Amino acid sequence: MIIIFDLDGTLINTIDDLGQACNYALAACGYPTHKIEDYPRLVGNGINRLIERALPEQHRNEATVLRLREYFVPYYDEHNCELTCPYDGITEILHTLKEAGHTLAVASNKYQAATEKIVAHFFPGIFDVVLGERENVARKPDPQIVWDIVEAIRLLGDKAIDKEDILYIGDSLVDAETAKAANLPFVACTWGFCTEEQLASGNPNYIVQHPIEILSIVE
């Protein structure tokens, strides 16, 4: 089976490092900062949307977002593994799935360089394909990232892939919409950045409270 995981809020808790980087960019450009606990409601659609949502409403324009991004990215690149950590049980479950012969992939709205760095740091040798936000490729919930992952895996194995053998796992309504757009079964994780009630509104195929529950779904 091919199992596609979202990154932030699903495999790792990135809120502290994301919040610190965004606050750094905001302060550097003279804007008010936010409490770290406010950031879960701001994330999920990539760095530009995070910055946009963090800005005062009257300053939410492309030029300002791009100016703050120039501060955000270098800071985040340097500090993105300092306060970030895998959720309890995730590392063990990934190793179990890998050893069972499943093909594992990451589909993230975090920009590609940071996605690759963080996955390599916390989960070396685990994932077959790792894709994040890339230039001229639509972000989730557009399903293009799913098709790109499937194609990359097909090339690795040089064989056709049955869509019925693909599972998508994430922690947000963005992930729910991505899975729906790709016509894939969706597993909603309650330990991430959305409440269980919010996740239920996305009509997931499964809702799990702990990573170990994923094993019963894929077996």
- Can you list the domains of the chain with their CATH numbers? 2-13+85-218 (3.40.50.1000), 15-79 (1.10.150.240)
Amino acid identity of 90?
I
Sequence-ordered list of residues with C-beta below 8 angstroms from that of 202, at least 6 positions apart, any chain = 173, 176, 177, 180, 186, 188
- Amino acid identity at 193: F
pTM of the model: 0.91
Residue type, 65: V
Please tell me the distance from the alpha carbon of residue 31 to that of residue 10, in angstroms, as a whole number.
30
Using CA atoms, how far apart are residues 214 and 219, in angstroms rounded to an integer?
9
pLDDT at 124: 97
The reply to whether 38 belongs to the active site is no
Assess contact for 192 and 202: CB atoms under 8 A.
no
Mean pLDDT in order along the chain per 10 residues (219 residues): 96 95 97 94 86 95 96 95 96 97 95 95 97 94 96 83 90 96 97 92 96 93
Q: What is the pLDDT of residue 62?
A: 94
Q: Where are the alpha helices (DSSP H) in the chain?
A: 15-28, 47-54, 62-79, 90-99, 112-122, 144-157, 173-181, 196-200, 213-218
Whether residue 14 contacts residue 40, with contact meaning beta carbons closer than 8 Å, is answered with: no
CB–CB of 107/178 below 8 Å? yes
| pLDDT given at position 158 | 65
- Residue 43: its pLDDT value, please? 87
Of 6, 8, 171, 175, which one is the catalytic site residue?
Answer: 6
**In DSSP terms, which residues pair with 208 in a beta bridge?**
189
Output 124-131 pairs: Cβ under 8 A, ≥24 positions apart.
126/94, 126/95, 126/98, 128/103, 128/104, 128/152, 128/153, 128/156, 129/105, 129/153, 129/156, 130/105, 130/106, 131/105, 131/106, 131/107
The pLDDT of residue 161:
81
